[in-house]
Amino acid sequence: MNTQREVFNKLFKEDKTELATQKVDMSLASDGKTNMFKAVEKIYRNGEDLVDEFENNKKRANRQIQSVEKSYDKAVKIYKEVSTDLEKKASELDIAPNNIPDYDKLLKSLDFLRRKKDEIISNLKKYI
């Protein structure tokens, strides 16, 4: 009887040890899964925030492009008005518009503004 009891006690103790090991393994796996999901969740939130930021910047770039174009159009309008006035006055004085001081600078200024406008818009479009 004692021998039988000892055998049962040993079997019972071994089963407990195995169950405890399985419990630890299951706990480690569960903790690992939880930690993995936490890590992925943080990455996902950061990714979503970055996407939102990119979308906002894209909208800002488009608004800036429109603003640059609008400002340039205003400069062209001013150039045309001034140029028309200068040509009219040059005609009245019977001289060539190119002989008016700074007339060529006016034209060069418009060309400079056009190049800058194109450069700015080209740079902004890289980010759209």
pLDDT by position in tens, the chain (length 128): 566 666 556 655 654 455 555 555 667 778 888 888 888 888 889 999 999 999 999 999 999 999 999 999 999 999 999 999 999 998 998 999 888 888 899 999 999 999 999 999 999 999 88
The pLDDT of residue 30 is 83
CB 58 within 8 A of CB 128: yes
Residue 61: which residues within 8 A CB-CB, separation 6 or more?
124, 125, 127, 128
What is the pLDDT, as a whole number, of residue 24?
A: 54
What is the distance between the alpha carbons of residues 16 and 27, in angstroms, rounded to a whole number? 16
Count the neighbouring beta carbons within 10 Å of the beta carbon of residue 14.
10
In this prediction, residue 40 carries a pLDDT of 85
pLDDT of residue 48: 93
Angle, in degrees to the nearest 10, between helices 2-92 and 103-125: 160
Q: What is the domain extent for residue 27? A: 2-125
Count of structural domains, the chain: 1
Please name the residues in contact with 103: beta carbons below 8 A apart, sequence gap of 6 or more: 86, 97
